[in-house]
Structure 1
């Protein structure tokens, strides 16, 4: 999905039922900006725009997944229909041969009357058996023809319906794509309207807000001691860490770029456990785990609508693909409002020994929410890498 929303004016709602103190960008005194809006107001606007883009991206990803599945249905029905039509053609050919044979053997006397007038009783009995078999063959041929016609008609109807559904999904996918582009364009317009000083102030407010949120989260007791991951969880974590530094791109599933659920789904697929593509489906279909039982590889889901997801690394950190303009990076777990956590492999046994992966240089650099690339502040401690 699109990425992070700014984690500034939200209380963290814990799945464990722990409410943290709200953190607001307006908590510190702020001077006005050149646009006539305070930093808090600009942050609120940016948060709303990115959140809208995030929802639209999640809709796009979900529609793309359903469209892929529907294409497979259409392909399967087309193949079944082709086989049914081939069987129907064979049945019609058999029925035609039977009709031609009956025409060539026709006479003024019916086969049954000739049987009664036969001089040789044994021969008559043999003929009766043959005639009975021919009658059964004709009945079977007509039955197969009727059955194949019915099946072909039924499959043709189902194929038409499936194709219509595919067309409708493709249209919805285009609408979702356009919605993402429209919302990201609004983000670009807002950022383009700001001065370098305003951008720097935004980045500093983001940084301090995330720091306060993380401190509140970690002191709340929401997290327990880190557990060891399963073997598959270990592989998923190492794959995700290997992607650090690659750019966020909405709808992307690697290998050059990712969106947030693209990163988590591909990481677990590479680990040997395929999971749903979107963050909302991951939240809905995977097993929930309490935050105080998190282990590396578990997925942390954010926002009430489950529109963002990251992978837990341990020690209160996650690896995530933030929003456009950002790169895959390591972030504090509380950089966004936590909804809860899920485990892709609830039956996986913890490994006996676990050594966390070595993080690449600069893995934690940059904003955890992300700016659009061309508009990131220049200050090294707050800018995008």
Structure 2
């Protein structure tokens, strides 16, 4: 990005933050009345009802996307485990062959000595010094034989365990693949249903739909700010948090694509996980796992870089960037953008670098 684009992006960011953090009194100004529209025909849904239905469909697609991403993550893990186990099995088989060769060599040596065990050969010896030297050799040989047999048994047991583990991992892998396929089917169905609703709208209605979305977000953000939520939130980001915020804000304008984690597009948790990966703090891939695994903090203790988890099913996530704003990847058909931290129902806040 050249300096002119960087400057433009910085100005846009400052302007957006200024709107999001305006005093409550200013933000509490009456929301402009929607332009008059003809009353809906009998049996036809109002535009607001369509908006709510589309929002619900995309939220369900978001939840299914989390299920898909988690299954994909688990599939990759199981594949990695299977590769490791396969190598361990090959190494184990090679070691067993080596140990069997050692045991065979000892058996052949005994045969060459007339089939007599070493102890009997010593008893028959009439040289005292040879007898004493032989005693030590016999002990060493017996110890070596025991070690070979013991290691052979251990290696065979390990090999059986590796084989069982590999079989179990294959079963898990197939289970996760089925989960992925099921989640993908559900995602596509929800997104297609939402797109179908949007495709039935005229150009003016689509513009009005976007305005209704913005008004709903504005109303929720205003209510959140009016509650005094920002009163004690004035903490600075950690060094890692600053890097994560810098990464996420650089991606503003890139499109939402479900399952994407950059560099050209993102889903909501793809953006947050990649931002923290850039800060050298790997976190879970999905918003639901981020909510489940990362340390939770109170909203009043929030600082830039923290992740705000939304909706009761933890199906959406945004990164807090300060001054009451988040950067997030909203849904299909929308781009990574700034929004009010309170523009959606907050489930809680997690901190990747606590």
Please state which band the TM-score falls in when normalised by the shorter chain.
Answer: 0.7 to 0.9
Pair 206,114 (structure 1): closer, same or farther in 2 beyond 3 Å? closer
Pair 183,134 (structure 1): closer, same or farther in 2 beyond 3 Å? same
Partner of 1:217: 224
Q: Distance in 2 between matches of 1:175 and 1:181?
A: 10
Pair 210,116 (structure 1): closer, same or farther in 2 beyond 3 Å? closer
Partner of 2:13: none
Q: Is 1:97 matched with 2:97?
A: no
Q: Which has the higher contact order (CA 8 A, sep 6+)?
A: 1
How many angstroms does 1:110 deviate by? Answer: 5.7
Q: Is 1:307 matched with 2:307?
A: no
Partner of 1:234: 242
Pair 262,34 (structure 1): closer, same or farther in 2 beyond 3 Å? farther
Match of 1:106 among 101, 108, 114: 114
Partner of 2:169: 162
Match of 1:71 among 61, 71, 79: 79
Gapped regions of structure 1 (runs ≥ 5) = 1-22, 347-385
TM-score with structure 2 length normalisation? 0.83
How many angstroms does 1:32 deviate by? Answer: 0.9
Q: Distance in 1 between matches of 2:195 and 2:236?
A: 42
Q: What are the Cα deviations for residues 231-284 of structure 1, in whole angstroms up to 9, with x where unaligned?
A: 211111111110011111111111111111111111111112222111112122
Gapped regions of structure 2 (runs ≥ 5) = 1-30
Pair 267,98 (structure 1): closer, same or farther in 2 beyond 3 Å? same
How many angstroms does 1:33 deviate by? Answer: 5.5
Contact 2:267 2:331 in 1 (8 A): yes
**Structure number with higher helix proportion:** 2
Q: Is 1:318 matched with 2:326?
A: yes
Partner of 2:152: 145
Contact 2:219 2:343 in 1 (8 A): no
Contact 2:326 2:338 in 1 (8 A): yes
- Comparing 78-87 with 33-42, which one deviates more in the overlay? 33-42
Pair 106,40 (structure 1): closer, same or farther in 2 beyond 3 Å? same
How many aligned positions are there? 321
How many angstroms does 1:307 deviate by? Answer: 0.7
Contact 2:308 2:346 in 1 (8 A): yes
Pair 59,131 (structure 1): closer, same or farther in 2 beyond 3 Å? same
How many angstroms does 1:141 deviate by? Answer: 2.3
SS in 2 for 1:246: coil
Contact 1:241 1:319 in 2 (8 A): yes
TM-score with structure 1 length normalisation? 0.77
